[in-house]
Amino acid sequence: MSDWRPTASLEAMRARAGLLSTVRAFFAARGVLEVDTPQLARHGVSDPHIDCIPVAGHGYLQSSPEYHMKRLLAAGSGPIYQTCKAYRNGEAGTRHNPEFTMLEWYRPGFDLDGLISECLALFGELFSNTPSRTYRFRDLFAEVTGLDPLTATDSDLIQCAEQHGAPEGLDKAAAVDYLMATRVEAALPAEQLSVVIDFPGWAAALAQTRLDTDGTEVALRFEIYFRGLELANGYQELTDADEQRRRFEQDNRLRQKHGLNTMDADPYLLDALRHGLPACSGVAIGVERLLMARLNSDRIGDVLTFPGDRA
């Protein structure tokens, strides 16, 4: 007989309801509009690290509401947020489920520092009296590994990753990702909201970039970690349609290199950018990750009623 019961406890279900209530009150007090966008749409994302789930005859289940929310911003919505289901193929394990809940918001007129402050204000309501500290990616990485990820040689970074259990055949970017996930994140204090800024330029995704003091390119991007979990991933958003198209093309070259299917550029997003996306910053947060951190759980199944293997 199959086990039909939920994996989340009643306490966890109540915690989810309370968290969503806190989020709505937080944004209502700040005049940020709650919106709703499609979960099934014609186009998926091109990011090589994300595998969208296709739906024959319809397109893709959305891995994030980002593209549609940026269209709303270009149409003059002002500051917006939403909580919605998101879907990513192949993401299953103690911290991942193919279907999960995402909180995403955008703030026209905010630079990255302004958005980081707002994230910490929300987290202050969810994790009261928790200290925070900000690190530059390259400084933190060098402190833990002894290597500057932006100036060290490819061979040194790859060798370091392999010495710490990485599979052979990684390139520089993949080696840095591996070390960040397995060594650097693990070194962050568990009971501290750790903000990491100035990611390598190659990890910009849809963020703007700038030159660091030594002329190396860094991304205007941040992540926030707490209790061993990545909670937030935010950008000072790219607004240039031509640069966005170039990054779509770059993503597809990487997808081909790694044997992945290519993804058509979303023409709606490009047209919205050409019309004019206001200068803004945006952030995505996994709601289940927030719940795991609040309940001090290390299993996503503890905060989902019916995870993928029981849905």
273 vs 70: CA distance, rounded Å: 8
| Closest to 53 in 3D by CA, of 246, 263, 303 | 263
Q: Which residues of 278-297 are buried (b: 16+ CB within 10 A; e: fewer)?
A: bebbbbbbbbbbbbbbbbeb
Residues 6+ apart with CB under 8 A from 39: 61, 62, 84, 85, 86, 87
Determine the length of the chain. 311
219 contacts 199 by C-beta, under 8 angstroms: yes
pLDDT at res. 120: 98
pLDDT at res. 90: 80
Mean pLDDT, rounded, for 231-252: 95
In this prediction, residue 93 has a pLDDT band, given cuts at 50, 70 and 90, of confident
Mean pLDDT, rounded, for 210-227: 96
pLDDT in tens, 258-282: 899 999 999 999 999 999 999 999 9
Q: What percent of the chain has pLDDT over 70?
A: 99
pLDDT at res. 2: 77
Mean pLDDT, rounded, for 194-201: 97
Q: State the pTM of this model.
A: 0.95
**Token pair in block for residue 139:** 């400084």
pLDDT in tens, 33-69: 999 999 999 999 999 989 999 999 999 999 999 999 9
